[in-house]
Structure 1
Amino acid sequence: MYLCKYFLITIIFFSYFIGKQLPPSFGWENSPLEWSQVVILLMGALLTVKWRQEAKSTARYHHARFLTWAIPLWLLMAGREMSWGRVFYPLGINATTGPFFIPVSQLPYAPIVYPIIGVVILLWLFAVTKYKLLAIPYQLFQQGHFPIGEFLLVILAFVVANIAEKLMHFEIMEEIVECVAYLSILLTEYRIKTTLQQSTKTKDENFF
């Protein structure tokens, strides 16, 4: 699993050259790269559910709560990548820029889109504050166990993706690096989950 980090770094550094080999349609909305991002994000949500159940089954309830409130973030990111459902309502296709869709305001469920997003974010902020969820990664950082390398990889990926979009106007490169960013978030969460699991086992062994 540690090698995954270096594999993802390699993809970032070669993303420009990889993008040059792909057809322009890979940079469009509803492209294979866009849907790969959605798959990664939904996979992140499902794995978080699994890891949450593992934590709960071993009575690590604070860890389980931390993972529980990570699930909405994965779903929000997936919803954003699907433009909150706009991708299912194409209006046509432009030979240069690809498919275009109805605006959010014209979605059949438009009146509830932003209220639901707002409620989810407020509930998440409430949970983070009430249950002191940020204390978990902070304690890992203090103990020297936080996956700093993976977290910095997340930041690097998003910075490079923003450069590709805003400065280079190279959409395919942007989409490739966004895939890396989401995989890096998943890798960071996995490392946190594993570290918490190992720390609990160590405490149990020391107790006995």
Structure 2
Amino acid sequence: MTDAPSRARVGGSGTTFWNIVVLLGLLTTLPVSAVLPANWGWENGPLENAQALMLFAGAVTAMWAAVRQTEASTRALWWTAALVWLVMAGRELAWGAAFLAPRGFDDHGPIVSSSVLWYRPAVPWICAALLLIGLTAMWRSSAWSRVVARLHRERAWPWFRWLLLVVAMLMSAVAEEHTKQHLPFPYVPASTPIAEELFETWGYLALWLAQWQVMAHMRRWRTH
């Protein structure tokens, strides 16, 4: 259930506990979404707001890790991670459209679209530029060989939590009908938006926990 080679390094039973929490969350998403109020699946609803907070918390945590580093390579890694979190948070907030009045309402609640934003065409270019800056900083500071490769050698990558993230995002895409598959669900269409948001929420939690696991492992480097 946990990453066995790194259990002693990054938390042991605590790591296993949170893996089980996320796994159980994914397994119970469909029945839970059938009993939650419909507004939990709305744009700017409780789940989406929780996701935005989680993404910003991930960014702040990565920034906190960056400023505590003494080596340029590890700083570059965490600043790049913070940029990724911020891009994800921007997407979750529809690049700012979530703070505007909804364009209308349908069966799934308020309609929020970033197409009304005058700067929307520039968003992909800005995101790409930010990520390129982060990756370039990692290359110039040798973060790939000094940090990424070392984490790989020490088997510190949280593979199971990344797997949970992938499963959660795939199920969210299925719930949103972005694939040819459909949920085994008798509650369509009322419950599928809630299921989509719940899957995303568990996925973001898995990603946040994965980052924390890597941070916990890297803290040991300073003590040795």
Cα 1:130–1:97 shift into 2, 3 Å: same
Deviations 1:14-40 (A, max 9, x none): 011110111222112111101110000
Q: Residue 180 of structure 1: CA displacement? A: 1.1
TM-score, normalised via structure 1 length = 0.84
What is residue 72 of structure 2 aligned with on the other side? 61
Report percent identity of matched pairs: 24
What is residue 9 of structure 2 aligned with on the other side? none
Q: Residue 122 of structure 1: CA displacement? A: 2.6
Give secondary structure in 2 for the equivalent of 1:90: coil
* Matched AA of 2:51: Q
* Relative contact order, higher structure (CA 8 A, sep 6+): 2
Residue range with higher mean Cα deviation, 166-175 or 33-42: 166-175
Cα 1:93–1:190 shift into 2, 3 Å: same
What is residue 100 of structure 1 aligned with on the other side? 111
> Aligned-pair RMSD on alpha carbons?
2.1
Cα 1:74–1:102 shift into 2, 3 Å: closer
Residue 178 (structure 1) aligned with residue 212 (structure 2): no
Deviations 1:124-152 (A, max 9, x none): 33334433434433432222222222222
Cα 1:61–1:126 shift into 2, 3 Å: closer
What is residue 147 of structure 1 aligned with on the other side? 158
Q: Residue 116 of structure 1: CA displacement? A: 2.0
Is the 8 Å Cα contact of residues 89 and 102 (structure 1) preserved in structure 2? Answer: no
Q: 1:5 aligns with which of 4, 12, 19?
A: 19
What is residue 127 of structure 1 aligned with on the other side? 137
What is residue 188 of structure 1 aligned with on the other side? 210
Cα 1:54–1:161 shift into 2, 3 Å: same
TM-score, normalised via structure 2 length = 0.79
User: How many Å separate the matches in 1 of 2:149 and 2:175?
Assistant: 32
Bigger proportion of residues as helix = 1
Structure 1, unmatched stretches of 5+, are 203-208
Structure 2, unmatched stretches of 5+, are 1-13, 184-188
Is the 8 Å Cα contact of residues 90 and 102 (structure 1) preserved in structure 2? Answer: no
Residue 21 (structure 1) aligned with residue 35 (structure 2): yes
Is the 8 Å Cα contact of residues 97 and 112 (structure 2) preserved in structure 1? Answer: yes
What is residue 10 of structure 2 aligned with on the other side? none
What is residue 8 of structure 2 aligned with on the other side? none
Is the 8 Å Cα contact of residues 29 and 98 (structure 1) preserved in structure 2? Answer: yes
Residue 31 (structure 1) aligned with residue 41 (structure 2): no
Give secondary structure in 2 for the equivalent of 1:21: coil
Residue range with higher mean Cα deviation, 66-75 or 114-123: 114-123
Total equivalences in the alignment? 198
Cα 1:91–1:195 shift into 2, 3 Å: closer
Cα 1:121–1:140 shift into 2, 3 Å: closer
Residue range with higher mean Cα deviation, 21-30 or 4-13: 21-30
User: How many Å separate the matches in 1 of 2:112 and 2:197?
Assistant: 19
Cα 1:24–1:134 shift into 2, 3 Å: farther
What is residue 206 of structure 1 aligned with on the other side? none
What is residue 197 of structure 1 aligned with on the other side? 219
